[in-house]
Structure 1
């Protein structure tokens, strides 16, 4: 699978642009703020129906205009697939595949899988557990539609259960029957999400370890550990034991919304003890493992988007990374960087062709 063409109208800093891509490596170069990353985000929209950086669709509309349109043509198994996304102020987002509207955007997720690596990903390491759960959910959702449905359902029930706990605290009227109904719904969806996450991590962790060791040249020992309350006891029993605590705190303290991923280097937390280069290598290994997992599950190669990733990596790791993503295990790659000469020299050293686009203030030459 690869993206043949992309066109945007009134998207971020672009009035209009149309690009035709190579099946291999495509590079966007230009100064900071020129719009390189915006092109990656447009591709992300086509694959996952949303921006990678900002959940509010209308904030992607070019200033002074009322709508944006993104169109793309994918080649998948030799057949062309036309994907279109349109957002107009005060109207529902439109998303079409081969000119047909989707009933649910969730039905599109996973058809054109994609992995993005960005400086913003540092939040996976330094921010709270929600970021790490989001990473897991993003990977599994691209391979399993039912997972996404159950996760959405779980979160809806969780909101309702928390609202009930608050109402009980405010009114003093305990409603064990309604609480029991919410518990049953929470358990049904939560158990399925937990099992999927557990199975995913068992498959994913060895892949991650392989990629990190390659990037670091076996110089560092890292760990990736999945933690869940449901690993220690069954969900119904845990909920039962936590009822009084939940009533006091007015929120649900047990469940898969408390799951965590622990990152370590040489037995110490990566967040505190990893250097900037080590943290970046860790993130890149996570994303490349995501790519490998999606490839295994889907049977074809996802798109790989690398946004400004050379900063804070030494030359050895940069060369290893580019060797890795340019070999036969990877398909179409999109890269942004401020230095065109540097990128061209990197790929010249490893004897890989690329298509170069020079971006200047929302204008593209290439």
Structure 2
């Protein structure tokens, strides 16, 4: 992989080990930025900062990330480039994608990072992005349905604002949007429900192995569509929508409830318990994507020793060793600590001091 003007890197090239790669060094040297560049090649965007221009090195006006992959015994070259004031470009083997969504899922990847805590502390939007991200990596049709739904939702919201500003109303026009939201929303609700049904046992099994079964956790999909179909909900609540100038019902209100021993983990889980919950969630994501794509996703462990005791980290690395994981990338501030744990895993590895 090579980086040009990406974040704090002017020009850098890395030759990776096929199994384990460790980036070690003090805070601020760019360990996480290397992992983010790998993430960028899979998703066409940064995990930590979705504003493209802010990923360009200070004082420069473009960046280029280039990655060479071996997938199913075939070499694939992915290039992500961005220039200030211009649209980002993603190329596969020299050919630019017309739609970025076509690239999602081509290079399956899972990241575990301290930033994942947002899944617990932030609003429902973050958790919806998680569920959509996992399903989309293996289901391009789902991603397209979601894009269509969000487009219609934005148009319906604009119409509600227009009605309020011009003191007018047309139920016929609104009905067209209601029908489309109902159609797309019902498909999304069905796929999210099916996903949770399959994902939950995988997650619980992962959590049990990480926490040694000491904690009872649950993961619940909460949706207004559990009670009633979307078309009825939209029609029955039109007065509320008119007042708020916003669509109050739909799959854009869905949420995931994270609980420990019957209580919200946000309020009742310790930092260690929250971290274990998130790692189980991400490893279950790994299992789910692997089962559906028949490919080992790349796994990024960013600052994994942060807030996790050495025993849990060792357990995590052992889990990685026990099973058929693919390529692993780790960042940490302490080279000795990382190497001591990695040596217990019988895999080849490369240390990158930064």
TM-score normalised by the chain length of structure 2:
0.98
Q: Secondary structure at the match of 1:31?
A: coil
- Aligned-residue offset at 1:147: 1.0
Establish whether residue 32 from structure 1 lines up as the match of residue 6 from structure 2.
no
Q: Counterpart in 1 of 2:241? A: 246
CA RMSD in angstroms comes to 1.0
Instruction: Please name the residue that 1:64 is paired with.
Output: 59
Question: Who is 2:156 aligned against?
Answer: 161
Q: Is the 8 A contact 1:347 1:353 kept in 2?
A: no
Q: 2:290 aligns with which of 267, 291, 295?
A: 295
- Which one is further off, 164-173 or 62-71? 164-173
Deviation at 1:249, TM superposition (A): 1.8
Instruction: State how far apart, in whole Å, the 2-side matches of 1:247 and 1:86 are.
Output: 43
Residues 335-350 of structure 1: pairs in structure 2 closer than 5 A: 335-350=330-345
Superposed, which structure 2 residues align to 1:314-353 within 5 Å?
A: 314-353=309-348
Q: CA deviation at 1:160?
A: 1.1
* Cα offset, 1:222, TM superposition: 0.4
Aligned-pair CA distance for 1:137:
0.8
The whole-number CA distance in structure 2 between the counterparts of 1:277 and 1:253 is 36
2:36 to 32, 41, 44: 41
CA contact (8 A) 1:26 1:357 kept: yes
Name the CA distance, whole Å, in 1 between partners of 2:222 and 2:339.
42
What per-residue deviation string (whole Å, max 9, x for no partner) do you get for residues 125-177 of structure 1? Answer: 01111110010011111111111111111111111111111222222211101
Asked if 2 retains the 8 angstrom alpha-carbon contact of 1:212 and 1:282, the reply is yes
Q: How does 1:1-366 map to 2 (within 5 A)?
A: 6-359=1-354
| Cα displacement (A) at 1:48 | 0.6
Moved more, 308-317 or 276-285: 308-317
Aligned equivalents of 1:343 and 1:351: distance in 2? 14
The alpha carbon displacement at 1:123 in A equals 0.6
Is the deviation greater in 241-250 or in 208-217? 241-250
Deviation of 1:100 after TM superposition, in Å, equals 0.8
Cα distance in 2 for residues equivalent to 1:275 and 1:46: 34
Match of 2:14, SS state, is: strand
User: What SS does the corresponding residue of 2:299 show, helix, strand or coil?
Assistant: strand
Distance in 1, Cα, partners of 2:324 & 2:250: 37
Partners in 2 of 1:185 and 1:268 — Cα distance?
37
Distance in 2, matches of 1:329 and 1:193, equals: 31
Any stretches of 5+ residues in structure 1 without a counterpart? 1-5, 360-366
User: How many aligned positions are there?
Assistant: 354
Q: Which runs of 5+ in 2 are unaligned?
A: none
Moved more, 75-84 or 241-250: 241-250
